Amino acid sequence: MGTFIQESGIMMEMPGKTPSVMPGAGTTRMKKTGDLQVVEFILGTKLFAINLFDTKEVINQPVITPLPDAPEFITGIIDLRGVITTIVDLKSLMNITIDAEEDHKSRVIILDSAISSKVIGVLVDDVLAVTSYPDSMVDLGGGDGNGAKNRLGIIRKTVKEGDREGSELVILIDIKGIIKRIESSL
């Protein structure tokens, strides 16, 4: 099954790509050309990304039913087209305490079934785009090593502000590792 992005009730299938393995990144899959495809999103005021092939779809935040005695990072469950789906709050899990700006809309990224035996969605402050980055813009294991348990690397994103060109850093999250660590709580 392909990856779908749902926006305002319309689901669009993302074209299937031939997977290959990125050197040094375990099982991170990329397009045959070497480009890393990611879903970019906001947590608090920072940009994050997860591998596109680790996602199934993006939905608007539904009504979430809380679960008693669940860990803080488990927001609750939803009924997604007849399938009970556990919702994990990435901000809570990653100890991000800064709130997003008011113009952002919370979304849920439903993860691919290859990541977990259970259907899981991750709550984020907003989803920005599906983007491809060449290897030259991805620093695997980048940064100082602090908090590396949740991070695969850093993406250097080129941005334009008027006549100036600059860069912005996007943190590439190891969503497979995160889910493996918390599966016993689900």
DSSP string, 139-168: EET-SSSTTGGGEEEEEEEEEEETTEEEEE
Q: What is the pLDDT of residue 89?
A: 93
Beta strands at 120-124 and 107-111: parallel, antiparallel or unpaired: antiparallel
Which two tokens mark 78? 């939803």
Interacting residues of 76 by C-beta distance below 8 A, sequence separation 6+:
64, 65, 66, 67, 70, 86, 87
Q: Where are the domains of the chain?
A: 3-185
pLDDT mean over 172-177: 92
With cut-offs at 50, 70 and 90, classify the pLDDT of residue 24: very low
**135 vs 36: CA distance, rounded Å:** 7
pLDDT in tens, 80-131: 999 999 999 999 998 888 887 777 789 999 999 999 889 999 999 999 999 9
Q: What is the pLDDT of residue 10?
A: 35
Alpha helices in 78-157 (DSSP H): 90-93
**122 vs 173: CA distance, rounded Å:** 12
Q: What is the pLDDT of residue 132?
A: 92
Which two tokens mark 161? 């502000």
pLDDT of 170 above 80: yes
Q: What is the pLDDT of residue 148?
A: 59
pLDDT in tens, 28-54: 444 445 688 999 999 999 999 999 999
pLDDT in tens, 61-76: 899 999 999 999 999 9
Residue 52 CB neighbour total at 10 angstroms: 22
**146 vs 47: CA distance, rounded Å:** 17
| Superfamily of structural domain 3-185 | CheA-289, Domain 4 (2.40.50.180)
Q: What is the pLDDT of residue 146?
A: 52
